[in-house]
């Protein structure tokens, strides 16, 4: 918990230093590259899975490519993909992760709880025209889905923390309105579970999610084309208010 506390303080320190002004309440999610210990564990797992074949193919190439250092570097590149360009949906809005991995939405509910779903596509159940009643997970083994519950709680010492747990996808496939959906294959993102240090704030700042791959991301982007017309893009206005202060505001609340 100590390390997580330092991480949480660091996040808020960054927001203070940059002078990012939030006149509106937001949901803030950061996609990040996994920490060193997780990369090491993934490397170990990869050697026993599909990436092992890729390594064997590399070893069959010119001897210049078979050095241990280059093999290790190539393997690590699988787990440090670009953070930008992933599409997310929440409460009638659509947003895309930026180069820092930031995904942000206007906060549209008051509960200290939110669900995060990872799936490359969703079904929009329409009422009329571009008006829809709800979203659903797709009943297709080629469109996998993973669902997590994020709930902010206090322990006996009044310390805030996130309780993060994976939960089953509902049998009726309906997506709860309090769900932030990231359109990607579940294997591409690692969601840390358990109790993660947090701070009470007007912004709903979720723990970082680790992007370890962009496998089939192009497929997810293509799938989102038909969905986009039902969602309003998040519009962020940025202006420099001083030499050390950047002001960012969501303009379409």
* Total Cβ atoms within 10 A of residue 117: 22
Rounded Cα distance, 18 and 111, in Å: 28
Rounded Cα distance, 193 and 38, in Å: 14
Rounded Cα distance, 239 and 93, in Å: 23
pLDDT, residue 12, reads 38
CB 191 within 8 A of CB 115: no
The two tokens of residue 146 are 């993973």
What's the full length of the chain, in residues? Answer: 253
pLDDT, residue 34, reads 84
> Which letter, b or e, does each residue of 218-242 get, where b requires 16 or more Cβ atoms within 10 Å of its Cβ?
ebbbebbeebeebbeebeeeeeeee
Report the predicted TM-score, pTM, of the whole model to 2 decimal places.
0.75
Rounded Cα distance, 145 and 3, in Å: 30
pLDDT, residue 217, reads 86
pLDDT, residue 128, reads 81
pLDDT lower than 70: segments of the chain: 1-24, 38-39, 42-43, 45-79, 246-249, 251-253
pLDDT, residue 6, reads 41
């Amino acid at each position: 918990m100590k390390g997580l506390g330092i991480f949480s303080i660091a996040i808020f320190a960054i927001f203070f230093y940059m002078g990012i002004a939030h006149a509106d309440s937001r949901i803030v999610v950061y996609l990040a590259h996994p920490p060193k210990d997780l990369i090491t564990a993934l490397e170990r797992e990869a050697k026993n899975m599909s990436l092992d074949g890729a390594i064997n193919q590399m070893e069959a190439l010119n001897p210049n490519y078979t050095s241990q250092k280059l093999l290790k570097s190539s393997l690590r590149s699988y787990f440090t993909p670009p953070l930008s360009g992933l599409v997310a949906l929440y409460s009638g809005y659509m947003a895309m992760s930026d180069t820092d991995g930031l995904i942000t939405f206007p906060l549209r509910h008051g509960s200290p709880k939110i669900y995060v779903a990872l799936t490359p596509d969703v079904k929009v159940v329409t009422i009329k025209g571009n008006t829809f009643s709800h979203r659903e997970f797709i009943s297709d083994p080629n469109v996998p889905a993973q669902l997590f519950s994020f709930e902010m709680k206090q322990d006996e010492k009044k310390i805030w923390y996130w309780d993060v747990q994976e939960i089953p996808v509902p049998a009726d496939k309906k997506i709860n309105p309090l769900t932030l959906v990231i359109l990607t294959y579940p294997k591409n993102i690692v969601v840390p579970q358990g109790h993660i240090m947090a701070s009470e704030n007007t912004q709903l700042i979720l723990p970082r999610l680790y992007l370890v791959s962009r496998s089939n991301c192009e497929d997810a982007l293509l799938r989102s084309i038909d969905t986009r017309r039902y969602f309003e893009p998040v519009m962020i206005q940025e202006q420099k208010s001083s030499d050390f202060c950047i002001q960012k505001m969501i303009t379409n609340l």
